Chains A and B, each alone.
Chain A
């Protein structure tokens, strides 16, 4: 664009023939053919040998309190209900808390477990039993302080909408091992997060990379069932005719897009069998159901954990479970145990089950949320009387854990200060977490790019460091 400017007459335009656009080099169009829905999802090798084949991402919508689950803080407990010194608040931002800020200790008992000596509060007795499988990251921090932007940031590396989700990047990078199921499956217990379906959107990647929600009510995949009163045999005849007509048109006009369309219709037909088969838990043994606390026919996080294992067994690359109602601005004492009861046994069961079946070492499990919660109390009245304290959003230091697929169990990475306000040692940014997860899948986060809007976009934007300390 650094050319002299010109008048708008035709000769001027022709003379300048494109130079005014300041374009450099000839780009090749070949690598971005129109859709390639078919080949885009063919399994393809990553940048190097992977440690994990599949990911099960357990996202607790609303942000559980790390200070009441994994991070005992004796000093915070000691100074419970004291007015927080300003020095601790310097430069920090809170979503809701204002006025006088009081420190808030945990109401729960903590104890150490396993060889690793990881701390767990009394809310997670089952998970504590698999302590040594878990790698704790205690020093994660993010950029966003409200749910929807922080959820979008965690998933896409960007705080506003429109970019591909983590799972979409993974299937874009690796394709699918299963030809009868989508490569990226989403399971929900409770309502979807504040960012809605944008959390598993493929953004500017082709929609073949979009996460597909498997629902517990109605059709497990939208529009999976044949219309009422129309049999599977009739559908087969329609598809055969459709295939023949499309084939005939393909030989006429030669567009390979038609061949892709034919194969997508066949996959849709296979999904009509493969999805209900997957969702049906009747073949699971009594012991397995018990291990998870799953109940066939019920919608629950436990059922979803079991479905996650079944998806892994079928070669589905990317599975994300969302569980809602973790946003505890008040009454953590009462609400947290209830929520933990929903997930504790099932999460531990998932790890145990995968291990028993020899799948844990190739399945990466991530447990976490969009941010953590404050060491400050929320929900106290004007006179300082506690009614039912909760905690506010906290983006500066929070906890996630990883297990399986290449992860070194028993590791504890990063430290927070004695109150849990900030990171004291080894900070980890969301981009670092995402870079590491891609690395475990055999993908170099700096080379996994997609050209759009004039930029080579990455999940990790222009940052991200692979955390080799977590890797076994």
Chain B
């Protein structure tokens, strides 16, 4: 209990209740940063923070007088509510749903009560009215919007806003200061070199040639970006920029005898940093990898051969990213404009054989842009060039290689700085102008009805509205000594974690529809003891662990099973399968691979390729965490709600889409496949095989087997168990007799068997 790992283990049930996860949920399931809250829970448990304080800081840390950073981080509890930022979502609906989630979570986590029915109507079984529901709702109704329209004029646009709080961090601060000064120096060097070396930027296209704007007949973004055609016949992309994209544009060719084609790349106020690229407000670059032009045949189909383009020229090109790279047939090279962002640019190409365009009425153009990171064009216009403009070509300005070198240095430093960017975390923040709170007819956010003041359910102990009447008042009410529920609910849940089932077997429902406590006096006594001991969770736990009830043998006789299969009478000790995270922790510990490093951003253990791919949201490259990071405990494993770590879900972990105070404990063939074949467990078995030989190099097979058995299940094996393992060892040795190291295979088989024992993954 005094070890730092106490928090790693005991945070898990609370994080289930808090529905802590590292992503928003729903379609745009982007990752967000809130791991500091997870660390806060671990630390608070390790310090045995009294449960009343633990409650107040999480529900209302931000409303305490001069809150500390830690108290603000704690408010992440309520920021764990899923947030729907799928394009097309109404920000107000999302805000409403998040509050609903917060009220429901409060009900399950503290009151052991399902309040959610009362969102739409008075509770059917328990004495909660719809008005009580919206009384609680009102306490949560005063925080900032977490997702809002990107552009108020564009319906359907929405983006995640935060609010985030930067977290102090000494090591990164130092690095930051150092890099900042290097960056400043690099910027000065680049600026003075630019002054010295750059030529004036002539953004005027070929002067003599006649330009005829090509009318857009059709446009398609292959990756589904939406667009509009502006009055000047330019195409403006909006909404979610896909990572990479290809634009397929059909235009009417109304020019006679065109000699070339002009691509104008344009800025627009709706683009990040005004564009012209789409990916980044600071560096709105694009890379046009291929610019292909096809003639359409009479049936409207593009002909198979590209129209050949030559004599590329652009007003400006990034070093090594020249306009001719966009017509070289190589989709790894292209035209780009770094560092000349925030300006219009153009590139022009001459038709190698203008005669081939005779009779062509429509062209199809394909703009292939596969750099990634949405380095795609935000707005562009196409024109035909007519007449001989070859003589009128302006100078083809290219970034000076000396400047490019300085720029690359600066970019390198900026990248480094971005990596050490201050950690941040999601927190609750009240708005300045309070919103009016109301009831909602049938729980529909579009149908507000009568006004409601923040208040607590009438049936519970009285609530004294104070002058603030805010979340802090609610939190204090919740843990006031008069509350009959909270201490029981928490004691019961802890009992459930220790004994497998709570004294009230429905920890989420102490109401009329829940189960009656099997030992009501015991529950009352535990709750009273909990409060008298200053709400100390460690003391409560110690009380349970040192009890005679807990220390009973978990063996069960046929007669007991018949009479009391679920051990309601507590006539034997608990025996139940470990939760998902502990199964992995345990395997890593047995094998010696485990890293007990604590805290910080989530880690990524190996998982099969492609699991994070799905419709909508940012694309993430799932990279396994380097070195010992991947062997850290399960509580630190990244949780992406719509694609959670499969080996945890298989063992009944929650995807944390909603508050969960009790996990199932199923027993399935997928669990067997996971423990036998998931590379994580295979590696652990291999490591255990190695560990046995390393730790007991001189032992007899029997001694080695005993040692391994002890490692796996923490008891000495019976003779029959040793002999079963020994015969497996021998069979494997025989089967691999011709191998160079048969014992490696034999020990792997033994290790794998031990890791898969029911007893290994069961607490008894």
Contact = CB atoms under 8 A, between A and B. Distances in A.
Nearest to A161: B657
A149 to B, nearest CB: 7
B517 A198 contact: no
B181 to A, nearest CB: 44
24 contacts: A13-B528, A17-B520, A23-B514, A95-B156, A96-B156, A161-B82, A161-B655, A182-B670, A196-B29, A198-B642, A222-B674, A222-B678, A223-B673, A223-B678, A238-B752, A238-B753, A241-B725, A248-B721, A255-B764, A264-B671, A329-B224, A334-B220, A387-B218, A455-B114
Contact of A235 (B89, B575, B676, B678): B676
Interface in B629-682: 641-644, 646, 649-652, 655, 657-658, 660, 664-674, 676-679, 682
Given A18-B520, A23-B516, A453-B114, A98 B731 contact: no
Contacts of B565: 30, 33, 256
Given A22-B512, A160-B97, A7 B481 contact: yes
Interface stretch (A213-221, A287-295, A313-321, A422-430): A213-221
B642 A5 contact: no
A212 interface: yes
Contacts of B86: 146-149, 194
Contact of A96 (B27, B97, B155, B556): B155
B658 A160 contact: yes
Contacts of A258: 758
Given A194-B614, A334-B220, A146 B27 contact: yes
Given A33-B566, A388-B219, A192 B615 contact: yes
Contacts of A238: 676, 728, 749, 752-753, 756
Contacts of A32: 505
B219 A387 contact: yes
Contact of A387 (B229, B614, B667): B229
Nearest to B680: A223
A317 to B, nearest CB: 15
A459 to B, nearest CB: 17
B616 A249 contact: no
A197 to B, nearest CB: 6
B64 to A, nearest CB: 23
Contact of A221 (B226, B485, B670): B670
In this complex, the member of A24, A194, A217, A244 whose beta carbon has the largest number of chain B beta carbons within 10 angstroms is A194
Residue from the set B515, B525, B529 with the largest chain A CB neighbour count within 10 Å? B515
Interface stretch (B183-191, B376-384, B426-434, B605-613): B605-613
Contacts of B90: 93
Interface residues of A, number: 130
Interface string A5-42: 11111101110111011111111011011111110100
Nearest to A195: B642
Interface in A248-306: 248-250, 252-258, 260-262, 264-265, 267-268, 271
Q: Which of B88, B230, B525, B529 has the most CB of A within 10 A?
A: B88
Contacts of A235: 676
B664 A254 contact: no
Interface in B558-582: 558, 560-561, 565-566, 568, 575-577
Interface of A: 1-3, 5-10, 12-14, 16-18, 20-27, 29-30, 32-38, 40, 61-62, 93-99, 145-149, 160-162, 182, 191-198, 201, 204-208, 210, 212, 217-219, 221-227, 230-231, 233-235, 237-238, 240-242, 244-246, 248-250, 252-258, 260-262, 264-265, 267-268, 271, 324, 327, 329-331, 334-335, 378-379, 381-383, 385, 387-388, 393, 451-456
B724 interface: yes
B397 interface: no
Contacts of A37: 666-668
B511 interface: yes
A355 B484 CA distance: 63
A172 to B, nearest CB: 12
Given A207-B651, A255-B575, A387-B216, A191 B613 contact: yes
Contact of B113 (A191, A242, A383, A454): A454
Contact of B764 (A27, A233, A253, A265): A253
Contacts of A234: 732, 735, 745, 749
B482 A2 contact: no
B488 interface: yes
B386 to A, nearest CB: 24
Contacts of A249: 757-759
B524 A16 contact: yes
B622 to A, nearest CB: 14
Interface residues of B, number: 144
A64 B673 CA distance: 37
Given A5-B484, A33-B566, A330-B220, A383 B528 contact: no
Contacts of A265: 669, 672, 756
A194 B615 contact: yes
Interface in B116-131: 116-117, 125-127
Given A23-B516, A248-B721, A207 B649 contact: yes
B520 to A, nearest CB: 3
Contacts of A378: 226
A245 B721 contact: yes
Contact of A268 (B484, B642, B676): B676
A210 B511 contact: no
A95 B679 CA distance: 43
A225 to B, nearest CB: 6
A37 B671 CA distance: 11
B107 to A, nearest CB: 9
Contacts of B641: 161, 196, 198
Point out which of B97, B482, B516, B614 has the most chain A C-beta atoms below 10 A from its C-beta. Answer: B614
Nearest to B616: A194
A227 B677 contact: yes
Contacts of B125: 454
Nearest to A210: B649
B551 to A, nearest CB: 16
B527 interface: yes
A257 B220 CA distance: 57
Given A17-B521, A21-B517, A265-B756, A222 B665 contact: no
B532 interface: yes
Contacts of B731: 237
Given A23-B510, A145-B88, A253-B764, A195 B228 contact: no
Given A1-B126, A149-B26, A324-B615, 10 more contacts: A9-B528, A21-B520, A23-B510, A196-B642, A222-B670, A242-B756, A253-B556, A261-B667, A330-B226, A387-B229
B418 interface: no
B696 to A, nearest CB: 20
Nearest to A267: B669
A388 B650 CA distance: 45
A248 B724 contact: yes
Q: What 9 A-B pairs have minimum CB-CB distances, sorted nearest first?
A: A194-B27, A454-B509, A18-B520, A196-B642, A161-B657, A95-B88, A98-B155, A96-B156, A37-B667
A234 B752 CA distance: 11
A34 B566 contact: yes
Contacts of A260: 667
B571 to A, nearest CB: 13
B667 A257 contact: yes
A373 B487 CA distance: 51
B642 to A, nearest CB: 3
A240 B749 CA distance: 11
B49 interface: no
Contact of B231 (A162, A255, A335, A383): A383
B413 interface: no
A10 B528 contact: yes
B720 interface: yes
A455 B459 contact: no
A462 to B, nearest CB: 9
Nearest to B123: A454
Contacts of A99: 155
